[in-house]
């Protein structure tokens, strides 16, 4: 399955993110040809491996600028940039400001946030829900993120037991997606989770669930580094709403970043967990004689 190839690649990239390796080196270590790796990775994530490494190194640089006292040139060389100028140019392309200005501005914002720690911060568009939302917290985390400047953190704050769960989620209209097959993707990182995963649900006008996947057949457990996960569902013409998010069952922490929605064709298999088995054409064993 292609997603397994992509997850193998990302696991290895994350483990060796700051090492000066070429694509051929990654291919040899992972056990695939570089052409196969490149094709599958681009097909699934929408970016090539070089772009992924660059974005993750720049995200690491942003953390170093905010939480370390290393000089900009030290950070540049540590992240395998050939010069401070090359690093500054790349950083500015992503963060819209040079690294020195970013360090000064973000540290000022961080001090302001620490002074207002008593105030509950909401994440625009996202809500905390689940069977026992009082046992969980949801917040933006600007110390752990995949790209950009922050991620969404869902964490247990109470002793959540079997069958108890929390989710950070949002809902939107299905109008633009009717009749299409959609792929919902994201990057997730976990710490000592009992069970978690991304999820997506499509409802009709009666609020009946007509498409659904919560990764229950391929859950994330324990502690894992950033990796790529996706769900593929059809949006029938009678769809009204789409709901999605991150599900945490039991205790632990899960960070989410980079959610994306895209239309895919029928060659991409659906992950719908509500798919019914094909019925036989005729009734069988009507006399109950077959065992």
Q: Confirm if 169 and 184 have CB atoms less than 8 A apart.
A: no
Region for 163 from its dihedrals, namely left if φ exceeds 0, alpha if ψ lies in -120 to 50, beta otherwise? left
Whether residue 277 has pLDDT greater than 60: no
Res 116: pLDDT: 63
Burial of 201 (0-12, 13-18, 19+ CB in 10 A): buried
Whether residue 62 has pLDDT greater than 80: yes
**Distance of alpha carbon 210 from alpha carbon 203, whole angstroms:** 6
pLDDT, average across residues 168-187: 97
pLDDT, average across residues 260-289: 82
pLDDT, average across residues 43-65: 92
Q: Count Cα neighbours of 209 within 13 Å in the Cβ-side half-sphere.
A: 13
pLDDT band at 16 (very low <50, low <70, confident <90, very high): confident
Res 114: pLDDT: 61
pLDDT digit string (tens) for 85-125? 999 999 999 999 999 999 999 888 877 766 665 544 578 89
pLDDT, average across residues 202-217: 94
Res 117: pLDDT: 55
């Amino acid at each position: 399955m292609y997603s397994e190839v992509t997850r193998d690649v990302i696991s290895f990239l994350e483990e060796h993110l700051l090492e000066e390796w070429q694509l051929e080196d990654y291919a040899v270590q992972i056990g695939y040809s570089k052409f196969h790796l490149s094709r599958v990775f681009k097909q699934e994530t929408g970016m090539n491996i070089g772009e992924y490494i660059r974005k993750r190194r720049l995200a690491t640089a942003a953390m170093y600028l905010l939480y370390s006292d290393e000089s900009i040139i030290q950070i540049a060389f540590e992240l395998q940039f050939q010069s401070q100028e090359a690093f500054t140019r790349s950083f500015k392309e992503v963060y819209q400001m040079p690294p020195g200005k970013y360090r000064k501005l973000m540290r000022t914002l961080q001090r302001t946030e620490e002074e207002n720690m008593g105030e509950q911060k909401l994440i625009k568009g996202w809500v905390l829900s689940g069977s026992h939302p009082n046992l969980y917290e949801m917040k933006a985390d600007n110390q752990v993120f995949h790209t950009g400047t922050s991620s969404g953190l869902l964490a247990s704050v109470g002793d959540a037991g079997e069958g108890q769960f929390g989710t950070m989620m949002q809902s939107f209209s299905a109008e633009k997606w009717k009749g299409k097959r959609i792929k919902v993707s994201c990057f997730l990182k976990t710490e000592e989770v009992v069970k978690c995963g991304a999820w997506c649900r499509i409802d009709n006008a009666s609020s009946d669930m007509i498409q659904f996947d919560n990764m229950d057949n391929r859950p994330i457990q324990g502690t894992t580094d950033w990796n790529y996960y996706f769900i593929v569902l059809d949006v029938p013409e009678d769809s009204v709403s789409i709901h999605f998010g991150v599900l945490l069952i039991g205790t632990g922490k899960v960070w989410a970043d980079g959610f994306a929605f895209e239309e895919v064709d029928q060659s991409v298999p659906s992950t719908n967990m509500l798919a019914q088995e094909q019925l036989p054409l005729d009734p069988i064993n009507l006399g109950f004689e077959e065992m």
